[in-house]
Structure 1
């Protein structure tokens, strides 16, 4: 299994920290697209991560913690924004952008709302591909119940990043990434400690370099 981490604060991505993360045996870092500048991945940061020999796994999140946010229209808007940011960063086409469902969505109505959101995401990505001839892959981040429902109900979602939270001990067999611990200290050999989530993958997580 390939080891990775994710974190929200882009200030963690200093040259010294990234080199120490690589020495610690991690191969990829999950970083964010979204509407919050303090955590948004930039091209400069992406180059630093890549230069350190690490891969980037991109996830879009703008809120994502309430059923009411998950609508078809919001899914389209999220995808359009994510595409713009991915192009600015230099993310290669045919690599995934995961879209985050960061709450305990397990009731029928919640899962149906999430499905509508991903239908909107997929619609926007398909429109982009028709216009440009190429596109990014779409991934889903969420609990066991979310990733399974989206895999079953929304054709064309290519990647699945399951979080341990809200999964009630279940493990989705078709996942590409598994986030098994959140908000933990990672002590680096350069003397710094950063707050991260820990992940593992089977090597098919869709990481990229620029």
Structure 2
């Protein structure tokens, strides 16, 4: 079992070193588009140099998973481009958050979201973050291969499928707000030591084809432009010219 935490606050060299001295092994950080809480390449190196491992989690809004398949394809493509920018190596895991008390009636949308995100992140393992019921439903459906359970909304139940378990929220450690976690193996964590990311032209173009449905379904020009931007990020990651 390994000791870890997750936080929205970016780590500095001092805070990362303090957590490492306290016996923490990993930190979960946000692999998301531009935001105050977003992981950066500089922070990746800061965390790695301190000797900590990184768990990547994609979350823009708490109930984003209710967007189903279209949202999952979009977020997966975004996460894939960001993983390349951060130097996250293939074979590690990207977790997608279901950060609310999902009901049984909402579970089909959640499963569709996670399954689509998995399709859109070739080369990486896909994980789900959520309650006991979310973890059990998503894993039983075979929508992803890794699970990070929170005690929240779980009624005291703990899934045997969980690779990571979040057992306490909203405390202050080393001067920043964190949630506490423990992990049990095959978490899919990573750091920048020896990372070498590549994306094949074939995989990039398959993802771009998936994204076309979202492009044509977008209700405004801003949405279409974002799909176009993400497609070009995939082209760049696979060594192709932008369009």
CA distance in 1, matches of 2:118, 2:18: 37
Match of 2:15 among 9, 13, 17: 17
Contact 2:58 2:95 in 1 (8 A): yes
Please say if 1:29 is aligned against 2:17.
no
* Aligned counterparts, 1:47-126, within 5 A: 47-65=45-63, 69-107=66-104, 109-125=105-121
Contact 1:160 1:175 in 2 (8 A): yes
CA distance in 1, matches of 2:64, 2:46: 34
Following superposition, the deviation at residue 106 of structure 1 comes to: 2.8
Secondary structure of the residue that 1:174 maps to in structure 2? coil
Secondary structure of the residue that 1:45 maps to in structure 2? helix
Q: How many residues align?
A: 192
Secondary structure of the residue that 2:47 maps to in structure 1? helix
Contact 1:118 1:154 in 2 (8 A): no
1:149-171 per-residue CA deviation (whole Å, 9 max, x = no partner) reads 0001134x111000000001110
CA distance in 1, matches of 2:186, 2:149: 13
Following superposition, the deviation at residue 71 of structure 1 comes to: 1.3
Change (3 A) 1:152 1:206: same
Q: If the length of structure 2 is used for normalisation, what is the TM-score?
A: 0.76
Change (3 A) 1:32 1:66: closer
Q: Which runs of no fewer than 5 residues in structure 1 stay unpaired?
A: 130-134
**What residue number does 1:6 align with?**
6
**What residue number does 1:207 align with?**
189
The higher-RCO structure (CA 8 Å, 6+ apart) is: 1
Q: Which runs of no fewer than 5 residues in structure 2 stay unpaired?
A: 193-243
Contact 1:138 1:158 in 2 (8 A): yes
Please say if 1:145 is aligned against 2:172.
no
CA distance in 2, matches of 1:141, 1:20: 26
Pairwise CA RMSD of aligned residues? 1.3
* Aligned counterparts, 1:128-143, within 5 A: 129=122, 135-143=123-131
Which stretches of structure 1, 4 residues or longer, exceed 3 Å deviation after superposition? none
CA distance in 1, matches of 2:146, 2:55: 11
Structure having the higher Rg: 2
Contact 2:29 2:55 in 1 (8 A): yes
Secondary structure of the residue that 2:5 maps to in structure 1? strand
